[in-house]
Amino acid sequence: MLGAKHRDQQPPPQLASDRAETMQGRVNRLFKKEPHAVDTVQRGRGAAGEPEPDAGHTHTHTPLSEVTDRTLDAKPKDIEPIDYENVLLQKKAQILSDPLREMLLFPNEDFQIKILKRHGRTLCSTVPENARREAQSLLVTECIKTYNSDWYLIHYRYEDYSGDFRKLPNKTPRPEKLPVHVFEVDEDVDKDEDTASLGSQKGGITKQGWLHKGNMNSAISVTMRSFKRRFFHLTQLGDGSYILNFYKDEKISKEPKGSIFLDSCMGVVQNNKIRRYAFELKMQDKSSYLLAADSDLEMEEWIGSLNKILQSTFEAAMQEKRNGDSLEISDDELTCQGKTEHVTSWESMHYELTKSTREIEAKKNEGRLKLFMLDADSQKLDFSSVEPDVKPFEEKFGMRFLVKCNDLFFNLQSCVAENEEGPTTNVEPFFVTLALFDIKDNRKISADFHVDLNHPSVRCMLSNSTTTMNGGEGLSSSQKSINGIPENLLQYPKQGIFSVSCPHQDIFLVARVEKVLQGGITQCAEPYMKSSDSAKVAQKVLKNAKQMCSRLGQYRMPFAWAARPIFKDTQGTLDKNARFSTLYRQDSNKLSNEDLLKLLLDFRKPEKMSKLPVILGNLDITIDNVTPDFPSCVNSSYIPVKHFENSSKVLVTHEVEEFFPCIAKLSQPFTIYNNHLYVYPTYLKYDSQKSFAKARNIAVCLEFRDSDEEESQPLRCIYGRPGGPVFTKWAFSVVLHHHHNPEFYDEVKVELPTQLHEKHHLLFTFYHVSCDNSSKGTTKKKETIESQVGYAWLPILKDGRVVTNENQISVSANLPVGYLSYLELGMGKHTGPEIKWVDGAKHIFKVATHLVSTVYTQDQHLNNFFQYCQKCDSGAQASGSELVKFLKSLHAMEGHVMINFLPTILNQLFRVLARASHEEVAVNVTRVLVHIVSQCHEGLEQYLRSYIKFVFKTEPWNSSKCKTVHEELAKSMTVLLKTTADFLTCNKLLKYSWFFLEALIKSMAQHLIETSKLKLFRNQRFPASYQHTVETLVNLLIPHITQKYKDKPEEARNANHSLAVFIKRCFSLMDRGFVFKQINNYIKWFSPGNPKTLFELKFEFLRVICNHEHFIPLNLPMPFGKGRVQRYQDLQLDFTLSDDFCKNHFLVGLLVREVGSALQEYRDVRQMAISVLKSLMIKHTFDDRYTAKSQQARIATLYLPLFGLLLDNVQRINVKDCSPFPINQSSNGRKEDALLGFQTGTTTTTPQRSGNTLDNSIHRDVFGVISGTASPHGSSTPSINAVRHADSRGSLISTDSGTSLPERSAEKSNSLDKNHGSCVVRCDKLEQLEIRSLLMCFLHVLKSMSDDALITYWNKAATPEMMDFFTILEVCLHQFRYMGKRYIARY
């Protein structure tokens, strides 16, 4: 710590005698009048806190806005940057010979293309092996490319260094424990705290009560009205001194309104001139405090207590002085000792002193922390500049939970084996189907999950009918495999993983229970609803079940249902304690999903649920949370997920597909291949048909076919039920007994082919099933058990899109060849074969379909756009106006579709942009891009960032076929920014400009790498036309930023930041001199006196630019001069912001110049400017590429003009009469600037050099002796007494010396040249935080710069600069000195 003495170092003798005054010096508060101040209140040294009343004087303050307007009405001089590339060529030999040439040159291969392998959740690709070969549609082809392609990104080798210092790699963390140092100021603290805690253990004096407080000094006359009633509390501090705090009320636990330190008090006397019962506290600085009690007794008690304190303090001070005198050595004794010793010459003394000093410094530097390591700002967590973490696209799920099916138990139990040997089980097979229903959204939100919980002995009852049921195949399929998994492992699932994106309490897990068709639901359920004589009933039911299983085993009938809630709240907390409700009998008239949702609405109403018929049984199904690495799991397409254990005993868990709502904010880009169609036969109205004699027990058989020819066969693409093969050729619906108009609730899952065509269709065959269970019925043939009673078909494609939602179709009595070609023409005419329609070709069959596909879309506009693009790619003549029409239609694309197919859509749009032959096409492509980007920013911005970083890739450049994306996109952006009529698109472009500018950068980088242009000179990499386009784009963006910051603040801020990032990245790609010009063009739009928002925009821009990873090489820290190649040792250092410095070291010169200009503004602007500068210097300190001392010294040369900047503002920095601890300020900068106690004058003048305590006549040779560069002999060398301070502590607490030192205008002629324009400078003081930050930067430069550079500075500086330089050092001692534990505890 600066200013603190280590206990091993003995203090100077003169300081030991002044220890009694130390406390006074720490608490003094003295503010003298500034020049041009108007009637400023002078406050006493002993007080801290509440301002005294002003009686009889009026305060006038000039508004700060007027000060700002008058202060900087002169704009700084524009300085053109160097031609960076030419300078590198001209000084090539000098740079290569420089030992630190790595600080002057960009590294080779600064960026490169990086391919990251796409890693999905599954063990193998989700895209079928033959999908790429089969795909013909452009949309399908491009989707498959998207899901198969690896991640493609531009990798910048030093990108980790391009952010804030907090994001630097290998940044040395602050040590958890710092070395323990004991300072003499703290030696007695622990002892004092143990023996005297607030005076309670030393018998200290304490007192409290109400007093009236006034003030008495030379500036204010005290009247009766000036007294304020305050509650005073007298207490003893830990160091033994006393303090008198005063409050507004008796709540002394709060912060006091003010304090009077009694160690500065000289006496207490009675004073009844102004008020009765008054007494006066006289302070050492000749100020006084006037207090008054309410009675004579109270006054005497207070005076007595205070006098006792003063007496004890005086005795303690005298005892300390006597102890100090015994240790002092007189001057005479010192002189006698000196005579007997060997007289050493000045030269040898200086040599030995220098040598020992260097040895001591070398030891001290071992393990010493960097200067900024302990700075408070370097430890703050600031997330304002942190860019979002961008990750590749990945499958995302909602709240996932595991459903484990354990058992289904009914009251009828028996042994089903013929020999009656075996376990007791249910007397017939039952089948469970699980699904999620959301009664809030009134829809089903998951696919069906089918479970077979039957005992193996019960399953044997169905063995005779499995061939028909399973699509023509038996169960001997253990040799087959699906995606590497033996098929038998997938046949009997018992565990399923469900996912819910929007969990809430109104989501239910519903179980539907089915059984083998036997008859009516009421009749079949009756035995299960009675509890008496169950054994006899069980045998009867078992006998009947065996007969029906052998005849109708492939047909199912509804039986029962149950439900249970899933979540406790909207956070996704599982309700694990809930159980399934009792089993309710199915109602044949209320089977649909809509009817079930109505029943669930009353689920929590016992009075209504009690009316439903109950079946005696229990369904044991539990739910639990799922870990991300859940083992042995397959997705909804039966593709094994990672951590799959492929063994014969493994229990495979199935993921159940979630049906996402068509809401954009809940959608996500598709990342895997998935192509499922869910088919729902819902209703058949057959009561009016006359084509068939019997059509009551109707079953629907569904097939998926690709032809209507005579010998065509159904495709094996339907997902099978438990116990059968994984994929079957057909699926049957449930059967309702004796219903002419049956309802169905079945869900059939179909795996669609990769490429659909016009012949693909769903074929429905209707069967009448005979349920007669008489003795004759057992001998009937299969043909008499089921008979065909109609056909219906539904083509999959309509207008190139998959048919979805509910469809009403006709039923035919026959199925002729070529039935798909039948077309009704009207007037009784048709084309195609003759078809016998049932019920006059009325639409009597309802079927619904739901598409869950990542390669087909239901959006007409998107589908039409890709179809037209495919038409153009196939060789058809592309019409610009026609393409524009399809592009404009994309604005009507549904939001969720846009998100789902986002990567594929953006890829196609950029492809069209690069191939555009008309400007109108390119502009409309950009308009669509703006629309898509704006839609995705509604909480989905991360998808755009993932696309740009990992997916975006332009086609290989071919000058004859297409242009580059960056050229066309930049041109289109300029057109949109110029278009004043379409202001909505323009504003969106500004708001989301980051997307387009990053696309430009990635396209440029890819173009340079793929065309091998990285080896060319920077000015040859891009054509002049493109540079002109970029310059036009930048010049169009800037006025939008500077003019829309009020009306469109978000758009202006986003565009400003995006432009800064774009320009920063251009340093790695383009001519760096050209990029400098763009920065210069930007800065020209700003001027002093701008509103605060414009300053924020400017310094945010500079912050981003200066954080470039190669900021040091961009500033060329090397000598610039004429003639032969110079050595660094011969460098003519710039200590001021000269034109040459700002030109040669453009970025750092621009930043320091802008900081200097900002110091003349109000507080908020000053702080943001200082913050940018300080953060940049902290970054240099922690950058592990520049750890060597020589490297840090070279960097310091770039910041030497900071000396001149601080010297120009020395009168504003020289604040040594305030606490070194920062004070929290309010957020209103203008108000605070006007109300700060020490800023008494707001009028601006030409800056005057502040003085300091050094004598005016000191010659620069003195500093030569100090630095070791000049001989101490000479006639001009003053005596030591001439430069010794009378009181070093007094100098540290002196007030502003701006009025104590005459202006040295006569001595300025030989000072360092300065170039700050003609503006006048503010003279008000800077705030503590600002001063400390500037001084930290100053000390860092001073510490890092080489000895030669410092000596050069001292030799070039005139005496006034030297005085101010050491004044700043003295302020550093005050600002950063260690005050001791007592002071810290006090403040």
Among 220-224, 472-476, 575-579, the range of highest mean pLDDT:
575-579
CB 898 within 8 Å of CB 861 = no
Rounded percentage of the chain residues whose pLDDT exceeds 70:
76
Q: Is the predicted pLDDT of residue 888 greater than 90, yes or no?
A: yes
Looking at residue 365, its pLDDT comes to 56
What is the pLDDT averaged over residues 1187-1206? 92
Looking at residue 270, its pLDDT comes to 87
Pairing type for strands 653-655 and 633-634 reads parallel
How many angstroms separate the Cα of 586 from the Cα of each of 433, 721, 1116?
Answer: 14, 21, 84
Q: Which two tokens stand for residue 1087?
A: 């001027």
Q: What b/e readout covers 792-804, taking b as 16+ CB neighbours within 10 angstroms?
A: bbbbbeeebbbbb
CB 1250 within 8 Å of CB 1297 = yes
Looking at residue 183, its pLDDT comes to 75
d(CA 478, CA 489): 8
The closest of 1210, 1245, 1211, 1225 to 1320, measured between CA atoms, is: 1245
Q: Is the predicted pLDDT of residue 472 greater than 70, yes or no?
A: no
d(CA 402, CA 630): 10
Q: Is the predicted pLDDT of residue 11 greater than 70, yes or no?
A: no
d(CA 322, CA 327): 9
Looking at residue 1122, its pLDDT comes to 58
How many angstroms separate the Cα of 71 from the Cα of each of 34, 64, 415, 524?
Answer: 18, 10, 102, 97
The amino acid that residue 867 corresponds to is Q
Q: Which of the four pLDDT bands, split at 50, 70 and 90, describes residue 961? A: low
What is the pLDDT averaged over residues 1353-1382? 87
How do residues 238-259 score in pLDDT, each as one tens digit?
777 888 888 888 888 788 888 8
How do residues 1224-1242 score in pLDDT, each as one tens digit?
444 444 334 433 333 333 3
Q: Which of the four pLDDT bands, split at 50, 70 and 90, describes residue 1223? A: very low
How do residues 144-196 score in pLDDT, each as one tens digit?
999 999 999 999 999 999 988 888 887 666 666 666 777 777 766 555 444 43
Beta bridge partners, 633, equal: 653
Tell me which of 521 and 346 has the higher pLDDT.
Answer: 521
CB 201 within 8 Å of CB 1215 = no
Q: Which two tokens stand for residue 1082?
A: 């930007």
Phi/psi of residue 174, nearest 5 degrees: -65, 130
d(CA 1281, CA 552): 121
Tell me which of 1170 and 1231 has the higher pLDDT.
Answer: 1170
Q: Is the predicted pLDDT of residue 356 greater than 60, yes or no?
A: no
Looking at residue 216, its pLDDT comes to 54
Q: Identify the three-state secondary structure at position 1035.
A: helix
The amino acid that residue 168 corresponds to is L
Q: Cβ contacts of residue 380 below 8 Å, gap of 6+?
A: none
Looking at residue 793, its pLDDT comes to 96
Q: Is the predicted pLDDT of residue 1110 greater than 70, yes or no?
A: yes
The closest of 493, 561, 509 to 401, measured between CA atoms, is: 509
Q: Cβ contacts of residue 157 below 8 Å, gap of 6+?
A: 107, 109, 110, 111, 112
Looking at residue 269, its pLDDT comes to 87
Q: Is the predicted pLDDT of residue 813 greater than 70, yes or no?
A: yes
pTM: 0.77
Q: Is the predicted pLDDT of residue 372 greater than 90, yes or no?
A: no
What is the pLDDT averaged over residues 1202-1215? 88
Least confident of 758-762, 1114-1118, 1296-1300: 1296-1300
Looking at residue 1381, its pLDDT comes to 77
Tell me which of 1247 and 1353 has the higher pLDDT.
Answer: 1353
Task: Specify the DSSP element, H or E, that contains 914.
Answer: helix 902-915
Looking at residue 1276, its pLDDT comes to 37
What is the pLDDT averaged over residues 608-614? 93
Half-sphere exposure of 57 (CA within 13 A, CB side): 16
d(CA 946, CA 933): 13
How do residues 473-489 score in pLDDT, each as one tens digit?
544 444 588 988 999 89
How do residues 197-215 score in pLDDT, each as one tens digit?
444 434 467 888 999 888 6
Q: Is the predicted pLDDT of residue 466 greater than 90, yes or no?
A: no
* pLDDT mean across residues, the chain: 80
Looking at residue 747, its pLDDT comes to 96
CB 795 within 8 Å of CB 760 = yes
How many angstroms separate the Cα of 169 from the Cα of each of 163, 754, 945, 1061?
Answer: 10, 47, 23, 20
The amino acid that residue 1378 corresponds to is Y
What DSSP assignment string belongs to 1115-1169?
H--S---SSSPPPGGG-----S--HHHHHHTHHHHHHHHHHHHHTTS-HHHHHHH
Looking at residue 1261, its pLDDT comes to 46
Tell me which of 115 and 1218 has the higher pLDDT.
Answer: 115
What is the pLDDT averaged over residues 1103-1109? 95
Looking at residue 516, its pLDDT comes to 94
Looking at residue 1377, its pLDDT comes to 86
Q: Is the predicted pLDDT of residue 88 greater than 80, yes or no?
A: yes
Looking at residue 139, its pLDDT comes to 95
Q: Is the predicted pLDDT of residue 1258 greater than 70, yes or no?
A: no
What is the pLDDT averaged over residues 851-870? 95
